[in-house]
Amino acid sequence: MHFADGTAEDFDVVVHATGYNITFPFFDPDFLSAPENHIRLYKRIFKPGMDDVAFIGFAQATPTLFPFVECQTRLVAAWLVGRYAPPPVAEMERVIDEDQQKYTAHMVQRPRHTQQLDYFLYEHDLRVREIPAGMERARRQQARRPVEARG
């Protein structure tokens, strides 16, 4: 990571807490931004086309954020060890549109409310559908890799 003062450091993890105002001051806005708090993330975790970054906690979850974050962390942990794989970019984009309708279409349409969702619906979808589907995608990807690359 390069800083405005010209220094640079290597980091394994960057934690940036934004509250309800989503900003990424450490990324070039052309690379990643959230105009008016809108950011397209697959399952509110993965940016389509970015295969080495995961986001956790982009929600104003009802009743509370903590179970939502735990739910996302389970998926990201499986992804980090190769047991979960997101779908192709086109499928991610399609699902993002569906999820926006499912989770936020009935919410107040203001920047402050772009990340609202009902945790129970989201968690059920991740636990029952998405995590098993992603584990199957990862299993198929592993099976297609040559034996020497599976290490």
Write down the pLDDT at residue 4.
84
Assigned token pair, 89: 């970019």
| Contact indicator for 30, 87 with CB cutoff of 8 Å | no
Distance CA 15, CA 141 (A): 30
Please give the model's pTM, rounded to 2 decimal places: 0.77
CA-CA distances (angstroms) from residue 104 to 66, 74, 79, 107, 113?
19, 23, 26, 5, 8
Tens-digit pLDDT profile for residues 31-59: 888 888 788 999 999 999 999 999 998 87
Chain mean pLDDT for the chain = 85
Write down the pLDDT at residue 48.
96
Roughly what angle, to the nearest 10 degrees, separates helices 131-144 and 65-80?
10
